[in-house]
Structures are given as C-alpha cells and as structure tokens.
Amino acid sequence: MRSGQVIPMAFTDEIKSYRDEVSAGSCPNYHKVASIPAIFVTKFMKEGFNVYKESPRAVIAYLKRHGLEDFIATNKRV
C-alpha cells in the first residue's frame, strides 16, 4: 500500500493569496515564508534536509530546486 497526502487546490490558493497580499505589507516581528505539507517535510527529512533546523533562505532555495514554489508564502527576500 502506498501512502500519500491529498493537497487541495484551496491550500495552494491560500498560500498564493497570502504571498500576493499579506507579504506585500510590513512584517516587523513574524513573517511566514512557507507552508509545507507534512508529506513533503517527511520526504525532505529522509533526504537529509531538516526544514526545522535550516534557515528560511535555505528552505526557500530547497523548495525552488524541487519545483515546489507553490508552498512559498512570501515575495520578500529572506
């Protein structure tokens, strides 16, 4: 049996909306840079990439390298 996780379009639509609207404003204390489904976090951990210990810049670069830009929640440079 193969395991997986269904990622609804509403999930990526919400991230896009956040990226387009909220990240355009000022965020002095907290700024969401990505929203990564658990299935991908587990996959990355198996590949040796710990999203919890890496810098936000490294996480964004990793997502871009794997074609997962839909999970990036900011247009700002981190």
Q: Rounded mean pLDDT of the chain?
A: 87
Among 76, 19, 64, 63, residue whose Cα is nearest residue 37: 63
Tens of pLDDT, residue by residue over 36-58, are 999 999 999 999 999 999 999 99
Question: What pLDDT shows up at residue 28?
Answer: 63
- Identify the DSSP state of 25: S
Predicted structure pTM score: 0.80
Please enumerate, as own/partner, the contacts of 59-64 that have beta carbons within 8 Å and a separation of 24 or more.
59/33, 59/34, 60/33, 60/34, 63/34, 63/36
Interatomic CA distance for residues 63 and 35, integer angstroms: 11
